[in-house]
Structure 1
């Protein structure tokens, strides 16, 4: 009799999210402090986290609000910065095709760099996933991010200069940590391919920044790296 593999539950997804919670707390708190520093209220910080829910985008919004950038510029910049989520969603969508449209919308809406990293790690290790598991992973991260940013906003009035504590570098540090973790895993599995993709991305970013904006350069380099990685599997 064939053994039926047990599907991971919502609580399994919650447990899978626990290692990323500390990162969310730190980055979210920093985001709240920065938001408070430019004059946002705690309520506005809460709404931004609830609706936008994107660490990099929220830091960018705060920076552009601080220099009184036009609303259209803020929207366009955030759109291009978050365009990478389209690529992430496309790469994992085949694993959720058997679920409902509403379920897939929920996964795509709350998918972040961190939850995507956890998900792809599970997939590479051939560990089972399910919609309930993904919802547990995404929802805990979402709630923790909102709480962390609100706490940062509440206590932000006591931090008059966030740069003194390096809070403006918090998001960069988080992405570096995610990158090093992912690179270490891939280097052990496919050293030559990983080096090829990393080289492509680095060279592309350097060259594209000479002709376009940093945001477009990052997106272009990501696409080129993905193409090179995909072609190397052919």
Structure 2
């Protein structure tokens, strides 16, 4: 990454995550097809919902016969973290118009958020619409196309679990976490390591007592609060 905020630069900087989107999108399409959802609905799900982890949850709940209300609530809880991410990104693009901010927020994902945070470390905490929107559009198009391809391929795969496709999402987040840590020069490495271990611990304990759909949001909020407390107290 460099400090240039051009669309052409965004294309190059988004390419590493494109391969992650391809893997996860293919996995989603295959898993959804195995659950009995046809290729058209798989593609529409990615076009309209556009929420990787939430889409996997949707498919799982659909396959087990959950109600529409339960599925909708679960997807909302899982994606509620985007509210926090949008609040974090907003100051970086506050100079852009309201409509441009809405467009950026609509297509924001975990991956584009991570890229934005990494980029902001090199641009004095400033981003622009051209760079950010290019990142979002490439990510969106890749996700939709890979989901469709996965659904078509999934017609010939009866048991997607044996290929370990569900790990694609986890692997991508590990890579994004690594990039965020090595590029963020504003925070001490020790502090970042402590917060990461804290998140792991909270998730491990939380899974025992809290539904997984709600756990992501609660751990995100609690980790942010504890991270700020630890930073102010010891760093």
TM-score normalised per structure 2: 0.89
Any residues of structure 2 matched to 1:202-213 within 5 Å, and which?
Answer: 202-213=200-211
Q: For the residues of structure 1 that align with 2:131 and 2:179, how far apart are their CA atoms?
A: 22
Range 135-144 or range 7-16, more displaced: 7-16
Q: For the residues of structure 1 that align with 2:153 and 2:200, how far apart are their CA atoms?
A: 38
Any residues of structure 2 matched to 1:155-166 within 5 Å, and which?
Answer: 155-166=153-164
State whether structure 2 residue 130 is matched by structure 1 residue 104. no
User: Which residue does the alignment assign to 2:59?
Assistant: 62
- Aligned Cα root-mean-square deviation (Å): 2.1
Q: How many angstroms does 1:233 deviate by?
A: 4.4
**Residues 21 and 141 of structure 1 are in contact (CA less than 8 Å); yes or no, is this contact kept in structure 2?**
yes
**Residues 7 and 129 of structure 1 are in contact (CA less than 8 Å); yes or no, is this contact kept in structure 2?**
no
Aligned length: 229
Distance 1:188 1:90, change over 3 A: closer
Any residues of structure 2 matched to 1:13-52 within 5 Å, and which?
Answer: 13-52=10-49
Distance 1:177 1:9, change over 3 A: closer
User: Which residue does the alignment assign to 2:71?
Assistant: 74
**Residues 117 and 180 of structure 2 are in contact (CA less than 8 Å); yes or no, is this contact kept in structure 1?**
no
User: Which residue does the alignment assign to 1:217?
Assistant: 215
Q: How many angstroms does 1:203 deviate by?
A: 3.0
Among 194, 197, 205, the residue aligned to 1:196? 194
Q: How many angstroms does 1:189 deviate by?
A: 5.2
Q: For the residues of structure 2 that align with 1:186 and 1:15, how far apart are their CA atoms?
A: 20
Q: For the residues of structure 2 that align with 1:163 and 1:176, how far apart are their CA atoms?
A: 20
User: Which residue does the alignment assign to 2:89?
Assistant: 92
Unaligned runs of 5+ in 2: none
Distance 1:220 1:211, change over 3 A: same
**Residues 41 and 153 of structure 1 are in contact (CA less than 8 Å); yes or no, is this contact kept in structure 2?**
yes
Deviations 1:4-50 (A, max 9, x none): xx962222222221111111111101111111111111110111000
TM-score normalised per structure 1: 0.89
